[in-house]
Structure 1
Amino acid sequence: MKNNFSHFLASLIAVPVGLIFWVLSSNIFDIHLFLDVLVGIGGFGASYLPTQQIFHKKHLDKYKLTNSEYKYIKEQLNQADEQIKRLRSSYMNIRTIKDAKMIYEINRIIKTIISSVEEEPRKFYRGQQFFHSNLESAVNTIEKYLYLYKMPGKSKQERMQLHETRLSLLELKRTLQSNLSHMNASSYDDLDVERELIKRNADRSKKRQALLTNKLDKEKINLKKDQAKEYVYRGDKNGE
């Protein structure tokens, strides 16, 4: 999803072009130094922008996305990154090992979902519930839960509410795992297709090997028969 590579390639082409424009302007056209710099910058821009657009278009074609879809998904990923930063900042309020384990697992699932969309942006459409509601709900609940958990002098009812909240977080963790599984469903389907192709190719290879073995065995048998006939023929000839 990160399109830094197209910017890098465009810069790789535009920088030499800008330098060439600057050298030509300063040595051939012999105009003012400030104007030489402007010409160099203009040459850089004139080569960078179309080159970057070409590589960006290839990037979009690779993921089968329109430019508006790309911008929207990128915006959602940026918002998700902000949510992760909020989640990390709440780590200092963790007070128990079991809470640390639970939040670590939730964070791991969240990061995996985001990484999956960064690698294959079209998976975003299979995980919209995560980006539109589940992620923010998880971060908000964890923040409030950890903040209230560290408060001293809690009543029995407050401790019960915190316990119920923790159970809700465990349920939310299962929901996030379900989001991840749903997003990866197509990848598992592709894996099944590849596995079936491997199995078929292996079966074909075995059949070809079996046919070749049978052919060789028949040739060996025929060769032995020919040798036996030749031996008998020679024996009869010597007997004469």
Structure 2
Amino acid sequence: MNNFQQFLTRQAIMLPVSFGSWLYFLLGAGMTFIPATGLLIAIYLAGDFSIRQVQTTSEVKRLGMTRSEYKHIEHQLSEAKSKLRQLNAHYGNIRSVQAFRQLNELNKLSKRIIGIVGQNPKKFYNVEKFFYAHLDSAVELSSKYALLANQPAKDPEMQATLQQTRETLTDLNEEIRKDVKRALTTDLETLKFELDYADVLTGKERKQLNTAETKSLPLEGDDPDDRKSTGS
């Protein structure tokens, strides 16, 4: 989902068209500024919407997905980015070095998954648990930890709760790390297949080379001088 690239493409088309139309309305058609500007906005919005629909249709066809699937994944990516911003908002409220590292790791892993799915929406189905559960848990746990950590007085029960929360964050980090592996599964399988195929080709070439070398070697007892003397 190259949304930014698609946005630039729409602007590259619609800005010149809209501005050119606006100049025509003012100079060629003799319209006043306000009606011409109103038409400029209408042309821009209608054109931008139309091109966006064409881009979506083209992307859906390229991916082999339905439009509803594509829109659903696009929505989930948008929601995940919003949740990631909530997660990052807790950085300043965490005092523990361990918890800060855990939060930083969660942030990096989550960004990686969102980036992978953004590049290949089909991978969403490999990591549905991340979007539906794991990221929500990360936001909730980090919020809970930040709240408890900022309490002025910490009794033994609160200390135990903080420790339990850190341990849960550790477990969650491990689950999200597995999500990253699941997101990359097809890429790793493709790479392994390509490497295996390359090994097969290399083996064939090596075998062909060995066969050619064997054929070019003289047979035992076959002396070139003997052949010459025989021929004469």
Q: Which runs of 5+ in 2 are unaligned?
A: none
1:192 maps to amino acid: K
Distance 2:60 2:26 in 1: 39
Aligned residues: 230
Alpha-carbon RMSD: 2.9
> Please, what TM-score do these two structures have when normalized by structure 2?
0.82
- TM-aligned CA deviation for residue 43 of structure 1: 6.2
**Percent identity, aligned pairs only?**
23
Q: Which residue matches 1:191?
A: 191
> Please, what TM-score do these two structures have when normalized by structure 1?
0.80
Distance 2:45 2:229 in 1: 90
- TM-aligned CA deviation for residue 81 of structure 1: 1.2
1:17–1:47 CA contact under 8 A, matched in 2: no
1:6–1:56 CA contact under 8 A, matched in 2: no
Show CA shifts across 1:164-194 (max 9, x none): 2211111111222222222322222222211
- TM-aligned CA deviation for residue 146 of structure 1: 2.3
Q: Per the alignment, in what secondary structure is the counterpart of residue 164 of structure 2?
A: helix
Q: Per the alignment, in what secondary structure is the counterpart of residue 98 of structure 1?
A: helix
Q: Which residue matches 2:120?
A: 120
1:42–1:81: structure 2 CA closer, same or farther, 3 Å change rule?
Answer: closer
- TM-aligned CA deviation for residue 141 of structure 1: 0.9
2:148–2:158 CA contact under 8 A, matched in 1: no
Greater gyration radius: 1
Q: Per the alignment, in what secondary structure is the counterpart of residue 160 of structure 1?
A: helix
2:153 maps to amino acid: G
Q: Which runs of 5+ in 1 are unaligned?
A: 235-240
Mapping for residues 87-126 of structure 1, pairs under 5 Å: 87-126=87-126
More helix by share: 1
1:45–1:213: structure 2 CA closer, same or farther, 3 Å change rule?
Answer: farther
Distance 2:100 2:41 in 1: 53
